[in-house]
Amino acid sequence: MLHKDAMNELNVSLQHSIITLAGNGWSQRRIARELGVHRETVGRYLRLEDLKPAKVTLGSVGDAEAKPAISTPGSEPSDSSNPAISTLGSAGRQSVCLPWSPQIEAAVALGLSAQRIYQDLVVEQGFVGSYQAVKRFVRQLRKIQPEAFVRIEVEPGTEAQVDFGQGAWVWVSGRRKRPHLFRVVLSHSRKAYSEVVWHQTTEAFIRCLENAFRYFGGVPKTLVIDNLRAAVTRADWYDPELNAKVEEFCRHYGTVILPTRPAMPHHKGKVEAGVKYAQDNALKGRTFQTLAEQNLFLSAWESNVADTRIHGTTRKQVGKVFKEVEQSKLLPLSASLFPVFEEAPRSVHGDGYVELKRAYYSVPPEYVGRQVWVRWESRMVRVFNQRREQIALHVLAEPGKFITDPNHLHSPHRRVIQHSLEHLLDRARWIGPHTGSWAEAMIQQRGPIGTRVLHGLLALAQKHPVKALEQATQKALHHGTWRLKDLRLLIEQSQPMPQMDFLETHPLIRPLEEYNSLTPDCFTLYDHT
């Protein structure tokens, strides 16, 4: 860009372009950007032009023949067959890309980027313009020729599309609150199910889907969703990662979830339009007292309004097409509802147990030190490995209980744990006879979980004298106490209290004679008062 001080060096053509473009209504900023000069240079030249004396132009004399106005660049009609393309560029200025418009149009139709088109023009066509010129040309061309999307119609029962939107206002404790509107649309008949919920959680998403299946009386083969956090843990067009509970739900009902490409709402255009239709036709301008009241209204609206309408695309009545064509093509419902469960990762401790809500459940010993998935519901606890294969099944226990499967105790892999247990017992025996006997009896009473207590016992041996530990374990054996906290208490009780001896002489203690000499003065002062 030319600096403002280089104004006097502008050639006549550039000066004329500044004046002409300003006369066409261009701003100084735009002129400077297009001509590659400084904005202040443009402004100063225009001010100087205004100070020049007016000239008598041809055509000002009545008997003289008027001269036609000078045409500005790009004002002459283009030879291009596309009138829209002939004006591509900025305010009448023809783009330098215009001679290559057929090649650029073909490249845009193939979906090539502006950068790729520019590279191909330079290499294959000898293009000398800038990338920005190609970028502007392609941008304008895409506005004139927007990308076309193919409308996909599917067979009955094949697909349903799912999405969330905003529901109508609900009064909650004297204040208005807006729930989420969940909607499922069967892609063939456009039959839909609507429900409002407070939160877009995984559990709410699953329950809404299950309610929709029961409402339809069947299950579609595929479910098209966007990348909801409630269902998709990692968005990927080719290999998305679904929530484990959602995957289990799909297996339960025999359907498959197909997330759309991120930021591509037209991949589920039927439900996008369906959510907007429910918002505008059913909920707009309405307020409800409770969430249940809004759901009852939506159920009646689906039956009385949405099902009876003639759909704008299919030109058929929605409810009639569903009953006569699509309902029978849906997959059959599962005999039972999907069980409500919670799931979380857990690490298998050295004794072969996993902890859940302060209760302990055994797993095969080969999983010691590894991470597993624990799933629990109202009565059962299931343990899965990383491949989602069930490796243990237990009844839900109360806090503090240890649930052991005998197969886990007699597994050939448990010898590694037993060797570790014997090693710990040997270390306890080295401390003393009472400590070793207490450790052996504790293991017999408490089972494999006692390995943790042995670790705690060895830690106590590092903090307290052997004599104190031997006395404590002897008392614990006598009373039949096998808890580590009781052993700690016995150790504290066995330790003698420190004896405090009073010193008779010390440099800081004054002799008694000095205190005796002060006594008469005190009594004298008392007598005067």
| Domain total in the chain | 5
Separation of CA 101 from chain center: 43
Q: Which range, of 327-331, 452-456, 516-520, averages the lowest pLDDT?
A: 516-520
Residue 92: count other Cβ atoms within 10 Å of its Cβ.
13
Are residues 240 and 134 part of one domain?
Answer: no
When pLDDT is cut at 50, 70 and 90, the band that residue 529 belongs to is very low
Separation of CA 355 from chain center: 28
Domain's final residue, options 329, 361, 378: 329
**Separation of alpha carbons 341 and 362, rounded Å:** 20
Q: What is the CATH classification number for the domain harbouring 359?
A: 2.40.50
**Separation of alpha carbons 186 and 388, rounded Å:** 31
Are residues 192 and 314 part of one domain?
Answer: yes
Are residues 404 and 454 part of one domain?
Answer: no
Are residues 204 and 99 part of one domain?
Answer: no
Higher pLDDT, 111 or 182: 182
What residues does 172 pair with on adjacent strands?
A: 175
DSSP state of 336: S
Are residues 168 and 217 part of one domain?
Answer: yes
Are residues 319 and 176 part of one domain?
Answer: yes
Residue 283: count other Cβ atoms within 10 Å of its Cβ.
22
Are residues 396 and 300 part of one domain?
Answer: no
Do the domain assignments include residue 73? no
Higher pLDDT, 463 or 47: 463
- Is 238 a residue whose pLDDT tops 60? no
When pLDDT is cut at 50, 70 and 90, the band that residue 191 belongs to is very high
What lies within 8 Å, CB to CB, of 116 at 6+ separation is 107
Identify the domain containing residue 492 by its residue range: 431-529
Predicted TM-score (pTM) of the model is 0.47
Q: Which range, of 73-77, 94-98, 494-498, averages the lowest pLDDT?
A: 73-77
Do the domain assignments include residue 71? no
Identify the pLDDT of residue 71: 42
Higher pLDDT, 181 or 62: 181
Identify the pLDDT of residue 257: 81
Q: Kindly state the average pLDDT of the residues 205-232.
A: 86
Give percent above pLDDT 70 in the chain: 73
Are residues 301 and 443 part of one domain?
Answer: no
CA 467 vs CA 16, 171, 323, 472: distances in Å:
107, 71, 85, 9
**Separation of alpha carbons 408 and 170, rounded Å:** 53
Identify the pLDDT of residue 152: 61
Which H or E run includes 306? Answer: none
Identify the pLDDT of residue 127: 87
Do the domain assignments include residue 359? yes
Q: From its phi and psi, is residue 352 left (phi > 0), alpha (psi between -120 and 50) or beta?
A: left
Q: Kindly state the average pLDDT of the residues 516-529.
A: 57
Are residues 306 and 185 part of one domain?
Answer: yes
What residues does 2 pair with on adjacent strands?
A: 37
Looking at this protein, which amino acid is placed at residue 79? Answer: D
- Is 55 a residue whose pLDDT tops 80? no
- Is 407 a residue whose pLDDT tops 60? yes
Q: What are 434-469's pLDDT values in tens digits?
A: 999 999 888 888 776 677 788 888 888 888 888 888
Are residues 282 and 220 part of one domain?
Answer: yes
Q: Within 13 A of 80's CA, how many CA atoms are on the CB side? A: 19
Which pair of tokens denotes residue 455?
């670790």
Identify the pLDDT of residue 146: 54
Q: Kindly state the average pLDDT of the residues 159-177.
A: 91
Higher pLDDT, 66 or 204: 204
- Is 347 a residue whose pLDDT tops 80? yes
- Is 2 a residue whose pLDDT tops 60? no
Do the domain assignments include residue 163? yes
- Is 151 a residue whose pLDDT tops 70? no
Q: What is the CATH classification number for the domain harbouring 218?
A: 3.30.420.10
What residues does 208 pair with on adjacent strands?
A: none
Do the domain assignments include residue 404? yes
**Separation of alpha carbons 274 and 252, rounded Å:** 27
Domain's final residue, options 410, 439, 470: 410
Q: Which range, of 225-229, 238-242, 275-279, 432-436, averages the lowest pLDDT?
A: 238-242
Are residues 295 and 210 part of one domain?
Answer: yes
- Is 503 a residue whose pLDDT tops 70? no
Do the domain assignments include residue 150? no
Do the domain assignments include residue 230? yes
The terminus-to-terminus CA distance of the chain in angstroms comes to 104
Are residues 133 and 167 part of one domain?
Answer: no
Angle at 367 between CA 363 and CA 368, to 5 degrees: 95
Collapsed DSSP state (helix, strand, coil) of residue 395: strand
Identify the pLDDT of residue 496: 61
Do the domain assignments include residue 335? no
**Separation of alpha carbons 317 and 191, rounded Å:** 10
Report the candidate in 361, 372, 365, 362 with the shortest Cα–Cα distance to residue 397: 361
Compute the mean pLDDT over every residue in the chain, rounded to the nearest whole number: 78
